[in-house]
Amino acid sequence: MQFFGGSEISPSPPAPTATGNNAHMMYVFNRDGVCLFYREWNRPLHTLNPPQDHKLMFGLLFSLKSLTAKMDPTSAEKGNRGVPQLPGQGCSFHSFRTNTYKLSFLESPSGIKIILVTHPRTGDLRNSLKYIYNLYVEYVVKNPLYAPGTPIRCELFNTTLDQYVRSIA
Amino acid sequence: MAAIYSLYIINKSGGLIFYKDYGSKGRMDTNDSLRVASLWHSMHAISQQLSPTTGCSGIELLEADTFDLHCFQSLTETKFFVVCEPGTQHMEALLKVIYELYTDYVLKNPFYEMEMPIRCELFDINLTQAIQKDRVALLGR
């Protein structure tokens, strides 16, 4: 279960976990699978065009979440197959690693999914993702001109995010 | 800290050829384990498509809230994966040991048909020994 706890609105950024290359890319999806935000800093290989890439990413995460809920070895109660899990219900994964990248994942209770793809030797980025979620709340959600469910076009969010990501990766 | 919950071996088309459960509360029946295995096979393939750089060979470690999943893929695309407690060390080494046992007791068995479910007694015996030894070495029990 993921709960954010604490009563701070914007916690201070956690100390940088690794030095080295920048992060590769970042996605933000809402609960319906709409890609609200995609930013790439370092991506030499594009296998698919952007709409297909976003759909594939969302599909992968959705399936991985239902796989981890099903495979959870500490709970006997599995629920029904194929029924989408509510955020926070059932066991969810927070990262996976391949030989070329590490993907860190955070889902808020409202279904906002934040994905950060970095180099494989990155440490645990859960606190960094929580900080990025707070950036999203401050610069996007509280922006009166932003309509929820639409792609994010907030300059301040982009610049603050770039600055922050440069400091963690 | 070093409890393995279960071990799966899947062939190169994604079919489950071996499943052993070592004491999880969520023990799965045959159908579920088959489904989980093919799901994992597809996820493994899709993760290669989303790589930002070339040369990706699929997911090696998946970290969830209550378990970790370590996966080893041989050059022939047979996948070995273990579900274990979060933070368990040396799973990569254990997977390589299991791969060696597989080559010795399964592949060299003249009665074993490729890609079929594994029914080799010696493999089971040696596998249990290897996992016991691993458990004793890491936990002292």
Q: Could you report the predicted ipTM of this complex, rounded to two decimals?
A: 0.87
Alpha helices in chain B (DSSP H): 30-49, 91-102, 121-139
3-state secondary structure of A114: strand
- Residue A162: CB atoms within 10 A of its CB come to 14
Q: Using one digit for the tens of pLDDT, what is the confidence trace for B126-138? A: 999 999 888 777 6
Q: Using one digit for the tens of pLDDT, what is the confidence trace for A78-137? A: 666 666 677 777 889 999 999 999 999 999 999 999 999 999 999 999 999 999 999 999
Report how far residue B113's alpha carbon sits from residue B26's, in angstroms, rounded to the nearest whole number.
Answer: 30
Contact with chain B for residue A141, Cβ under 8 A: no
Q: Cβ of B63 and A94 within 8 Å?
A: yes
For A96, the closest of B49, B62, B65 (CB atoms) is B62
Total CB pairs under 8 A between chain A and B: 124
Q: Cβ of A101 and B56 within 8 Å?
A: yes
Closest CA to B99 of B80, B122, B113: B80
Report which secondary-structure segment, H or E, holds A134: helix A126-136
Contact with chain A for residue B55, Cβ under 8 A: yes
Confidence of residue A70 (pLDDT cuts 50, 70, 90): confident
Question: Is the whole-model pTM more than 0.95?
Answer: no
Confidence of residue A6 (pLDDT cuts 50, 70, 90): very low
Residue B134: per-residue pLDDT: 82
- The backbone torsions φ and ψ at residue B108, rounded to the nearest 5 degrees and listed phi first, read -85, 0
